[in-house]
Structure 1
Amino acid sequence: MVRHYTPVRHRQPRSYTDDDLQHALLLIAEGQPVKRVAAMKIPRRTLRNHASGERNTTIVGRKRTLLPEEEKTIAQHAAALGDFGYAFDVYELRLFVKSFLDKAQRNAP
């Protein structure tokens, strides 16, 4: 039995919308102090990150390896191969994408 149990704290849900964030960033760009704008229920650190450019407002997660057009094309080709009866499992798909990235001279983590 654990002697000192501490419950895991989960992130609090956002209490603001994207429109609120954009409005707050506009106010900061006009010269309002971050502390005053943060009274709109948007955390100060969030406002500073977005205003300084440390945080992009639309991209969440790690950097994408393939472009959206490339992903769509590969998915269409994999579906076409499936229609012709060629079974494409996840491992073969990973090998195909790896060889594609090698030929394009792009490194992926």
Structure 2
Amino acid sequence: MPAEVIVALIGGGALLVGTGGGAWLGHILASRTAARQHKTTAEHQMIDQLQEELGRYRERTDHRLDLLEAENRGYRAFIGLQRDHMAEHGIPLPPWPEGLPR
């Protein structure tokens, strides 16, 4: 076989191997990048979901707190009425519990 044919075959083989190797490497790198982007997207979706759940939890907690504060004001007003009634009728008032605001 003439030398020119051997050189052409070697060059063509190198070209095929280089092109195939480059395509293979490109495929590997592209798939890794896609996997990372998918993971990042999934993480962001989970973070968004958790933030929404936290927002709903805070809203419910604020609502319950408002209800408890209104209930507490009602009980305190009723206790005040009872103490006034007791004082009007000469009934000795029990001592106010320590640590409990008036």
TM-score band, normalised by the shorter chain? under 0.3
Which structure has the larger Rg? Answer: 2
Flag the structure with more relative contact order, 1 or 2, with Cα contacts below 8 A and sequence separation at least 6. Answer: 1
Task: Please give the TM-score of this superposition, normalised by the length of structure 1.
Answer: 0.23
TM-score normalised over the length of structure 2:
0.24
